[in-house]
Structure 1
Amino acid sequence: IICNGYKDRHYIKTALAFSLIRKNIILVIDRIDEIHDIIKYSKELSVNPKLGIRLRLYSKGSGKWVDSGGESAKFGLTTEELLSVIDILSTHNMLCDLKMLHFHIGSQITQIRRIQDAVKEASRIYAKVKQIATDLEYFNIGGGLGIDYEGSKTSADSSTNYSMQEYTNNVVFMVKEICEQEGIEHPTIVSESGRAIAVFHSLLVTHLVSEISAVHSNNIRYNKNDTPIINKFHRCFMDININNYRESYHDSLEYKDELISLFNLGQLSLEDKAKGEALFYKISLKIFEIIHQTKDYSEEFDQINKLMSKRYIGNFSLFQSMPDFWAVDQLFPIMPIQRLDEKPQCFSTILDMTCDSDGEIDKFICMKDVRGLLEIHAPDKQPYYIAVLLLGAYQDAIGDLHNLFGAVHEAHIVVTAKNTWEIKKIIKGDSISSVLDMLEFNKQSLINNIRSMIHESVEDHVISPQMANNIVNDITKQINDYTYLKFD
């Protein structure tokens, strides 16, 4: 058991007390001022603790958390502080209690070279300290082992340019080489790679419940008396072909800006604006068909692809189930889990159930780049489900109750030795009532207030007593329902 992070006196005293019971507790010194309380309470409790020291290396990680390492890292002792702690321990005859050196240069390290640099620096420090503190035995390489979320095997933020085997080979080789150079015995290597351990254990399955898209009429009545801007749109639409679609697209963008400008100046009617927008959509649709026919994937047509795409609402909260997408732009693999023998025909973004405009998944993993749309199948009358994968690291712990959407239902599934699967346990998600309790709302007081309002409506002959009873019964029942929507 490794105790690290900021510590108060209660933390230190408790860890030392348990050291009397369990001999495998190592108390890591993250700040130099912790050493004085550790010595004080060790003497009070008559305990010989196992101690570690966290190093603040010059080496830094890579990726989103690159700034959490290096000389300005939040935790760890500088070389001068390290030597000072060694002197203090020696003065109190506790140098034999120093068992571990620890470092951590950041989460999700994307480049193997940064790991090599850190291990080389820390190994050299370990070897030098081992020559002074001969009972030192553990070399803790911390976390940072990255996950290739996108499968590109590159140093992109959501990938890694190394495998777990390469990571292991580099760590073991570097530690072995430096220890042999310095003439000391090899340490026990400890890893705290939490993300790599936990990430695969969890995924989210959500139902796409409905579609949001702009509706434009295909029955646009064009006549010669239309305004000049409408005539421009119409000529543009009629003239589009495979040879001029790029130029036509540029023209249509210019006409759209002109349309909005004229309307804002009061020179167009609402009907003219609607007709112009519908014609722009028809032009875009025609160009969309041509660019996919010719496989023209130029960036300048990204807006057309987005305009022609769908937006589907999923029965989930992004802030509850995948908060890192919103908070740090973490990408997660997302895919349909049915009709996998059919080629997807639609492009879509995914909206969550919250009323927050940030509640949209509009970045998707691609082997070469980040895509703005997900390929899914055209809807039919059957429920359609997608899965968000690799959610096991951090998402459950930091998900919040934004818009009062709580934890989702959980199914604990194990794969058996015969390569079949079995549901071991089902945990119901949060109810409306439990979320209200978490936010310190008094559920009964809320129901009583509703009853009072309904009673007043009955007395004022706004609703009948029977309707009042129905409303109260529904509210009383629904307050114990799931926080997400039900589609029976």
Structure 2
Amino acid sequence: MSDSEWSVELARELYGLNNYMRQEFIDVDDEGFLVVKVNGYRARLLDLMKKFGLSNAYVRVLPAIRWAMDQVVRAYLETSEEAQYRGRLIPVYPLKVDANPVVVETIWRHGRRYNWGFEVGTLQELKSIEKYLSEETGVLVVDGFKTSEELEALKKHAERGWRVILTIESEREAELAGRFLDSIEVGVRLKPMTRTGSKWSFTMGFASKFGMTLNHLMMMVKDFPFLKKALTTIHVHGGSQITDIKAVARLAHEAVSILEDLRELGFENLNVIDLGGGLAYPYLDLRDGSHESPNYTVRDYFKAVLSAFRKSKRHPDLVFENGRIITSAHRIVVAKVLETREYGPEEYEESLDLDFIERAKDMKELERSLVEFREVLAKMEGKEEWGIRAKHIIETTRARMINSVVSKVMRMVLDNPLELSEVLKYPTLFKIVTSPSKRFIVSYSLFADIPDKTIVNQYFQVVPLTRLNEKPHVLASLSDLTCDSMGEYREYYSYVSRVYDKRQAFTGMDSRLMAVPGVKVKLGGIPLHLPSSGEDYYIAFLDTGAYQDMLAMKHNLIGEPPEIIIDESSEGELRVECLKCESKGYTDMKTAGQV
């Protein structure tokens, strides 16, 4: 297929693979296969799935975690040097993001060079890292509800040399902290007034369940005067995934202003600011400031924060507890397409008159006529007395209406000097021409594998493992194997910078619009290929390495799939191992070989 029809570079754009947080590891080869690349080695994901005989799996690329940690530290060092900033970075990993032992082990081992610590919120999380707390020393930031049992455990770690920062949020916690002042530091979580606009903005503000107001702190100090000397840290959390860099800057300015004012009031030992997990991961890297696509990078984040912090007379240290940016890229959910079905009604017999579609002279006329006709059709569909022949006619009419509109719009664009963006002006037409025509039944569970899709409608990039050098055939929805109607993924954000031929903007078989050059377009389905007879066609959900393991549900008792672990050996070679690959006998992390 010639470049005028399709290209691998166009596929990289359409499927969002030019992403600064994962393009180091995920790519497309010249034959259109999705590959993982590590240290000069490349492994086709399709080959890995076939090697172990799997219909679904979690593929963990552990070097992606180490690379992300390196990028964070490098960005901080570069921006602090440019800003002549003297405060230190205190990186900690929040276990709530992903406490999978393989992930935690990777972070701990690699993080030793940076003194990377942990953030815990429960006694169970603390117990899960006991073996590391006994090995070396580091930093522990403690959030969440505290108990005497938890503080006794923390005291033991502090006595071993760990720096423990206990963040308090109430009088009860202040009273508990007062018993352990000889071994731990005390921080306080305060409610910021800054509004960040993130999906998690409800976790801040006066009504938030987290933190206390400044008024509350000042009243509490009267009952616990030791806090004036004991407090070393203020935690000012702006909510996860702050996608606008201006909001990050506002939060940082408010935090350092509070720090300076509290110092003036006698909190002389305050020298640490924790901004929580606001640094946004680019699930879509278009830099537009949307929920999917932050308008900044890791380096931009530190530049905004340190620009605010450097105005302090004594530059504070920064606690960095952004786990999402560290682990998101490392886990890929891979699942096989088991079956394809029609998404909507099919043509069968005669239909109502649809000549108005062909008679329409332009999109404006077609939109107006279509809105009127759909209202009539909806009323007909609502009648209970229709017999089977009438129902055949109505179903066929709807199917032909969709197909005719799609065909008409494509011809209007191709046969006339119309820009593709013209379609965006007409909501009814746009909805139809970007709707799915196929339903793919896929070997995955949305609830078990990517639960944030149902919890907060989190966007995850979807990519086929093969045929990326071919033009997609259809827009499709991805139905999982559960009995729940919510177990379906079909939201897709499309972006390409340019097309050489307008035909590249339409799918090859169902003629759906899948791209408008220079415009971010929200499609109703995912651009994919129709599997040929006997073909093993797989789908990958990228960036599922943060929170999804911890939030996984047991819906329909669907268990965890096998895990393919990709890592570097001590000699720098790519190693591939598998957990729970019973069909091939690879169990207990036995080496599956090098690819």
Question: Same fold by TM (over 0.5)?
Answer: yes
- 1:25 corresponds in structure 2 to 164
| Distance apart, 1:2 and its partner CA | 0.6
Q: Give the 3 Å change call, closer, same or farther, for CA 285–128 of structure 1 in structure 2.
A: closer
Structure 1 gaps, min length 5: 223-229, 432-488
- The separation in 2 between residues aligned to 1:359 and 1:317, in whole angstroms, is 7
Task: Find the partner of 1:206 among 335, 338, 341.
Answer: 335
Q: Are 1:285 and 2:403 matched, yes or no?
A: yes
Deviation per CA, 1:296-332, whole angstroms, max 9, x where unpaired?
A: 6332125544676101011000001111111111111
RMSD over aligned Cα atoms: 3.0
Task: Find the partner of 1:256 among 363, 366, 377.
Answer: 377
- The separation in 2 between residues aligned to 1:376 and 1:205, in whole angstroms, is 15
| Distance apart, 1:35 and its partner CA | 1.3
Deviation per CA, 1:55-82, whole angstroms, max 9, x where unpaired?
A: 2222232221112112222222322333
Q: Are 1:71 and 2:223 matched, yes or no?
A: no
- The separation in 2 between residues aligned to 1:211 and 1:239, in whole angstroms, is 29
Q: Give the 3 Å change call, closer, same or farther, for CA 166–260 of structure 1 in structure 2.
A: closer
Count residues with an aligned counterpart.
Answer: 404
**Preserved CA contact (<8 Å) 1:252 1:283:** no
- 1:319 corresponds in structure 2 to 447
**Pairwise mapping of residues 103-142 of structure 1 onto structure 2 (< 5 A)?**
103-131=236-264, 132-142=266-276
- The separation in 1 between residues aligned to 2:319 and 2:168, in whole angstroms, is 16
**Preserved CA contact (<8 Å) 1:56 1:78:** yes
Q: Are 1:52 and 2:180 matched, yes or no?
A: no
- 2:38 corresponds in structure 1 to none
**Preserved CA contact (<8 Å) 1:100 1:137:** yes
- 2:305 corresponds in structure 1 to 171
Q: Are 1:389 and 2:523 matched, yes or no?
A: no
**One-letter amino acid of the structure 2 residue matched with residue 71 of structure 1:** F
Deviation per CA, 1:94-122, whole angstroms, max 9, x where unpaired?
A: 75443222221211112222222221121
Of Structure 1 and Structure 2, which has the larger fraction of its residues in strand?
2
Q: TM-score, normalised by structure 2?
A: 0.62
- The separation in 1 between residues aligned to 2:238 and 2:146, in whole angstroms, is 20
- The separation in 2 between residues aligned to 1:239 and 1:201, in whole angstroms, is 48
Q: Match of 1:365, SS?
A: strand
Structure 2 gaps, min length 5: 1-139, 414-421, 496-519, 584-595
**Preserved CA contact (<8 Å) 1:2 1:27:** yes
- 1:409 corresponds in structure 2 to 562
Q: Match of 1:42, SS?
A: coil
- 1:186 corresponds in structure 2 to 315
**Preserved CA contact (<8 Å) 1:26 1:49:** yes
**One-letter amino acid of the structure 1 residue matched with residue 142 of structure 2:** C
Q: Give the 3 Å change call, closer, same or farther, for CA 74–369 of structure 1 in structure 2.
A: farther
Q: Match of 1:61, SS?
A: coil
Q: What is the identity percentage for the equivalent residue pairs of Structure 1 and Structure 2?
A: 25
**Pairwise mapping of residues 330-369 of structure 1 onto structure 2 (< 5 A)?**
330-367=458-495, 368-369=520-521
- The separation in 1 between residues aligned to 2:582 and 2:170, in whole angstroms, is 39
- The separation in 2 between residues aligned to 1:32 and 1:159, in whole angstroms, is 39
Q: TM-score, normalised by structure 1?
A: 0.75
Q: Match of 1:203, SS?
A: strand
- The separation in 1 between residues aligned to 2:357 and 2:257, in whole angstroms, is 72
Q: Give the 3 Å change call, closer, same or farther, for CA 258–143 of structure 1 in structure 2.
A: closer
- The separation in 2 between residues aligned to 1:353 and 1:430, in whole angstroms, is 21
- The separation in 1 between residues aligned to 2:574 and 2:433, in whole angstroms, is 39
Structure having the higher Rg? 1
Q: Give the 3 Å change call, closer, same or farther, for CA 32–370 of structure 1 in structure 2.
A: farther
Deviates more, 1:376-385 or 1:133-142: 133-142
Q: Give the 3 Å change call, closer, same or farther, for CA 308–285 of structure 1 in structure 2.
A: farther
- 1:460 corresponds in structure 2 to none
- The separation in 2 between residues aligned to 1:130 and 1:142, in whole angstroms, is 21
Of Structure 1 and Structure 2, which has the larger fraction of its residues in helix?
1
**Preserved CA contact (<8 Å) 1:138 1:187:** yes
| Distance apart, 1:17 and its partner CA | 3.7
Q: Are 1:371 and 2:502 matched, yes or no?
A: no
- The separation in 1 between residues aligned to 2:401 and 2:239, in whole angstroms, is 49
Q: Match of 1:151, SS?
A: coil
Q: Give the 3 Å change call, closer, same or farther, for CA 430–57 of structure 1 in structure 2.
A: farther
**Preserved CA contact (<8 Å) 1:310 1:346:** yes
**One-letter amino acid of the structure 1 residue matched with residue 494 of structure 2:** C
**Pairwise mapping of residues 82-101 of structure 1 onto structure 2 (< 5 A)?**
82-86=217-221, 90=225, 92=226, 95-101=228-234
| Distance apart, 1:414 and its partner CA | 2.5
Q: Give the 3 Å change call, closer, same or farther, for CA 75–283 of structure 1 in structure 2.
A: closer
Deviates more, 1:60-69 or 1:299-308: 299-308
Q: Match of 2:561, SS?
A: coil
**Preserved CA contact (<8 Å) 2:234 2:273:** yes
